[in-house]
Amino acid sequence: MKELNIVLVEPQIPQNTGNIARTCAATGARLHIVKPMGFTIDDKKLKRAGLDYWYLLDITYYDSLADFFSKNEGPFYYFTTKGQHIYADVEYPERAYLVFGREDAGLPEELLYQNPDTAVRVPMIGQARSLNLSNTVALAAYEVLRQWGFPELKVSGQLTRFEW
């Protein structure tokens, strides 16, 4: 199976991280969280957002960005409002890492400056500051999975009272 990796750098809002954890669990994506976080992992808001999907989650924690990079080899794609490339124009290879920054500050500009070809953005009107982090992660993850043909994901559903 192709491996999709979602990386949250210093997440601050537990509900966002819970929603992202649920997206990762439902898609089979691995979740990587780079500390420090703005909440504790036992936060009720985090658990509520992830509901009962935690047992499906493959999650790894790192003490810093340096720790994360020392333990993982890309390719890395940096999601940022400052990106010069559109996320949907990228062809994502197997084992892609989609990297997202803090809700209030994004990713460090030095990191973006060093990686201009893989800094990508979601198009939006100029007056909008950014999309919600959990929404951005979901649309990015599903774009990659769409490109890969939704490997090992159930692509059709069943009615409960009727048959198709």
- Residue 120 annotated in ligand binding: no
| Burial of 110 from C-beta contacts in 10 A (0-12 / 13-18 / 19+) | exposed
Evaluate whether 100 touches 136 at the Cβ level (below 8 Å).
yes
- Residue 101 annotated in ligand binding: yes
Task: Report d(CA 20, CA 28) in Å as an integer.
Answer: 12
Q: At a CB cut-off of 8 Å and minimum separation 6, what does 97 contact?
A: 5, 7, 32, 72, 74, 75, 76, 77
SS3 122: coil
From 3, 6, 4, select the one nearest 99 (Cα to Cα).
Answer: 6
SS3 145: helix
Tokens 């500390």, located at residue? 35
Known binding residues for S-adenosyl-L-methionine are 101, 122, 130
Known binding residues are 101, 122, 130
